[in-house]
Structure 1
Amino acid sequence: MSKSETKSDQHKDKILKISREMFAEKGYEATTTRMINQAAGTAEGLMYYYFPHGKHEILDTIVYQGIINRANQLQAKFEDCTTKDDLEERLMQIFENIWQVFQDKENYQSFVITIHERTLLSDDQADWLLQVLEGLVDQIAEQLQTAPVLDGLSKDQYRPLARVIVSIFQKVIYDELLIKDNCQLTDQMKNRIRPQLEVVL
């Protein structure tokens, strides 16, 4: 990569970083391209060089990058879960891993923007959101099939079980991050999840 390409990438990343911060703090509509340019120290034309479709293309990029970053950080393995306590503990680890994703400032900002600006999202972006959730459901369902403790389930029961588990995680994450604006994982939160996992398992 040449020096000019590196500098170009740095300019583009700076515009994205500042836009992400402003969209998360002020909202998409309240943030103007002029505000972004002033904060980034860039000329109007330079922003349109990197993002020909302007502010909405910046939003598209932020949402897409945030979703990809979150999706790529989640892993689950259950083949050594021989008791329901083992499985419950592993699921709690998955929840904690998901929570850790949002401890990254950029991931958190992208998540907030994606939810707050959902009416502005294209069909493709809405599909990305669904794909992340469905991907997590698929991943957990696939791993649940390897858990010896669940050998009694029929093959068509794993995915509905995984969907309920993801819904439990999703509700707590939305309540804490969006409604309460709480980024700290607490024992109280874990204690809200555990009884629900006990019921579904």
Structure 2
Amino acid sequence: MSKNGTKSDQHKDKILNISREMFASRGYEATTTRMINQAAGTAEGLMYYYFPHGKHEILDTIVYQGIINRVNQLQFTFDDCLTKEALEQRLMGIFESIWQAFQEEENYHSFMITIHERMLLSDDQAGWLLQVLDGIVGQIATHLKTAPTLQPMPESQSRPLARVIVSIFQKVIYDELLIKNNRQLTEQMKNQIRPELSVVL
């Protein structure tokens, strides 16, 4: 990459990072492009060079990047889970990985912005959210079919089971982050999930 390319990327990332922090703390509507430019120390024309559609394109990018980052962090397999208990433990590990992703400020802010500004999301953004959940469901379903303790498990069973598992994770994440404003993973939270996983498995 050229020096100009690197500097250009740095300017763009700076605008995104400042916008992400301001959208998360002030809200999208209360944050103006003037505020963003002042905080970033950039001219208005430069912001529109990177984001021709202005503030809403910045929101699009923040939401998209946050979702992609969270999904890309998930890597797992169930091939070595020879018992139901081992499978439950691996699923708990997946939940903890998802939870840990939200501890990174960039991901946390992107998530909060996505939720708080959901009325402003475009159809594409709504599609990304659905794709993320469906992607996690798909990953878990694929690996459930190969889990020794559950074999044989057809597609007609693995995908609905994966969807229930993801809904368990999703409820805890939403309850803790959005309703309780809690970012600490506690034993109480784990103890809430474990029996639910045990029942569905």
Q: Same fold (TM over 0.5)?
A: yes
Number of aligned residue pairs: 201
Q: What is the TM-score when the length of structure 1 is the normalising length?
A: 0.97
Q: In 2, distance between residues paired with 1:191 and 1:149?
A: 22
Cα offsets for 1:110-134 (capped at 9, x unmatched): 1111111111111111111111100
Q: In 1, distance between residues paired with 2:154 and 2:2?
A: 56
Task: Say whether residues 1:79 and 2:79 are aligned partners.
Answer: yes
Residue 68 of structure 2 aligns with an amino acid whose one-letter code is: I
Residue in structure 2 matched with residue 185 of structure 1 by the alignment: 185
Which aligned runs of 4 or more in structure 1 are off by greater than 3 angstroms?
152-155
Deviates more, 1:181-190 or 1:146-155: 146-155
**Aligned-pair identity (%):** 79
Q: In 2, distance between residues paired with 1:88 and 1:178?
A: 26
CA contact (8 A) 2:145 2:152 kept: no
Residue in structure 2 matched with residue 65 of structure 1 by the alignment: 65
Residue in structure 2 matched with residue 130 of structure 1 by the alignment: 130
Q: What is the TM-score when the length of structure 2 is the normalising length?
A: 0.97
User: 1:80 Cα shift?
Assistant: 1.4
User: 1:153 Cα shift?
Assistant: 3.9
Residues 89-108 of structure 1: pairs in structure 2 closer than 5 A: 89-108=89-108
Structure 1: runs of 5+ lacking an equivalent: none
- When the two chains are superposed, the root-mean-square deviation of aligned CA atoms in Å is 1.0
Q: 1:34 is paired with a residue of what secondary structure?
A: helix
Residue in structure 2 matched with residue 195 of structure 1 by the alignment: 195
User: 1:11 Cα shift?
Assistant: 0.9
Residue in structure 2 matched with residue 173 of structure 1 by the alignment: 173
Structure 2: runs of 5+ lacking an equivalent: none
Residue 196 of structure 1 aligns with an amino acid whose one-letter code is: E
Q: In 1, distance between residues paired with 2:153 and 2:38?
A: 59
